[in-house]
């Protein structure tokens, strides 16, 4: 089994490096979602880099598409494409678009970027598995600010109504959005009560604790008849002291000096 702690550390370093190289991108929400992705891809996702489109693979939808750097980091580390490609993030002609493009990057199951649309896509994938008697699972990583989009709740109703127990939301609850604290901008909390009322199995964890993520993902597999949301309490910018809990680092790349400091901190 891969050491997911080491995997997450390497992912964070690659995120900083690629954002620095592109001088553009979203560090805060990439770093807060890193641990979810490290455990999911490290231990749970049934995917094969040699055959990225195989029909019975597990699906992943990065519904908060701006966390693309975190997804690109884990896909490269898993061998879906060469690590050197990461330096081309957001550059003209690069497959690594600012938001993930399924037709350009092996391992990306859905093109996303417009918030609130990914959960519906994930519902369709989960429903297709049910129709076809397949047992693959579908994971959707969402932001907490994203919960303000109305379509999310249409999809939440849909998933529970159609008993999509093969669907799991990983909810990156980092409490910040571009304009500030989510509670000040437009409070989506209490998310646990909302999802419970919508008919979901709700698990609340520390979104940076790998053992808790692992346990939650394993537990979600056992639930029958309802979808699961794993609400992870996270820190935006996690792992880089000057980025942590700073809304200003939502969509800004570090300069060379900041990058060096971030990488030094992540080396631990």
Task: State the minimum distance, in angstroms, from the CB of residue 47 to other proteins.
Answer: 15
Q: CA-to-CA distance for 32 and 196, rounded, in angstroms?
A: 24
207-266 binders of other proteins (CB under 8 A): none
Contact between 127 and other proteins by CB under 8 A: the answer reads yes
- Closer CB to other proteins, 82 or 93, in the complex: 93
160-179 binders of other proteins (CB under 8 A): 161-162
Site string for other proteins, 29-68 (x = CB under 8 A): --------------------------x---x---------
- Closer CB to other proteins, 28 or 118, in the complex: 118
Q: How many CA atoms lie within 13 A of 220 on its CB side?
A: 29
- Closer CB to other proteins, 130 or 252, in the complex: 130
Contact between 21 and other proteins by CB under 8 A: the answer reads no
Count residues contacting other proteins (CB under 8 A)?
Answer: 33
Exposure string over 125-137, b if 16+ CB within 10 A, otherwise e: bbbebeeeeeebb
Q: CA-to-CA distance for 178 and 181, rounded, in angstroms?
A: 8
Contact between 27 and other proteins by CB under 8 A: the answer reads no
Q: Is the Cα torsion angle 89, 92, 96, 100 positive or negative in sign?
A: positive
Contact between 83 and other proteins by CB under 8 A: the answer reads no
- Output phi, psi for 14, to 5 deg: -65, -35
Q: CA-to-CA distance for 147 and 95, rounded, in angstroms?
A: 28
97-126 binders of other proteins (CB under 8 A): 101-103, 109-111, 113-114, 117-126
Sole binder of other proteins in the list 2, 5, 83, 128 (CB under 8 A): 128
Q: CA-to-CA distance for 210 and 22, rounded, in angstroms?
A: 30
Q: Where are the alpha helices (DSSP H) in 23-147?
A: 27-39, 68-78, 118-132
Contact between 197 and other proteins by CB under 8 A: the answer reads no
Contact 225, 163 (CB under 8 A): yes
- Closer CB to other proteins, 95 or 113, in the complex: 113
Helix/strand/coil for 106: coil
Task: State the minimum distance, in angstroms, from the CB of residue 217 to other proteins.
Answer: 21
Contact 4, 217 (CB under 8 A): no
Contact between 133 and other proteins by CB under 8 A: the answer reads no
Cβ contacts of residue 259 below 8 Å, gap of 6+? 16, 17, 19, 20
Sole binder of other proteins in the list 43, 48, 85, 154 (CB under 8 A): 154
Task: State the minimum distance, in angstroms, from the CB of residue 174 to other proteins.
Answer: 24
CB atoms within 10 A of CB 124: 17
Binding footprint of other proteins on the chain (CB under 8 A): 55, 59, 101-103, 109-111, 113-114, 117-129, 131-132, 150-151, 154-155, 157-158, 161-162
């Amino acid at each position: 089994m891969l050491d997911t702690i080491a995997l997450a550390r390497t992912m964070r370093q690659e995120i900083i490096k690629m954002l620095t190289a592109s001088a553009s991108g979203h560090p805060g929400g990439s770093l807060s979602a890193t641990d979810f992705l490290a455990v999911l891809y490290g231990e749970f996702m049934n995917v094969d880099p040699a055959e990225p489109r195989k029909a019975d693979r597990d699906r992943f939808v990065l519904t908060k598409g701006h966390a693309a750097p975190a997804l690109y980091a884990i896909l490269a580390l898993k061998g879906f494409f060469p690590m050197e490609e990461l330096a081309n993030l957001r550059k003209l002609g690069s497959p690594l678009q600012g938001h993930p493009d399924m037709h350009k990057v092996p391992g990306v199951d859905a093109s996303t970027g417009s918030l609130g649309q990914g959960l519906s896509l994930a519902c369709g994938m989960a429903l297709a598995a049910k129709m076809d008697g397949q047992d693959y699972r579908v994971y959707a990583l969402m932001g907490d600010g994203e919960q303000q989009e109305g379509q999310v709740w249409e999809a939440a109703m849909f998933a529970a109504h159609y008993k999509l127990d093969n669907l799991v939301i990983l909810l990156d609850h980092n409490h910040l959005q571009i304009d500030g604290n989510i509670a000040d901008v437009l409070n989506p909390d209490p998310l646990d009560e909302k999802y419970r009322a919508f008919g979901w199995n709700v698990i609340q964890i520390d979104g940076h604790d790998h053992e808790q993520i692992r346990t939650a993902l394993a537990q979600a597999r056992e639930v029958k008849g309802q979808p699961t949301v794993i609400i992870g309490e996270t820190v935006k910018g996690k792992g880089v002291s000057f980025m942590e809990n700073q809304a200003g680092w939502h969509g800004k790349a570090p300069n060379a000096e900041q990058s060096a400091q971030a990488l030094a901190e992540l080396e631990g």
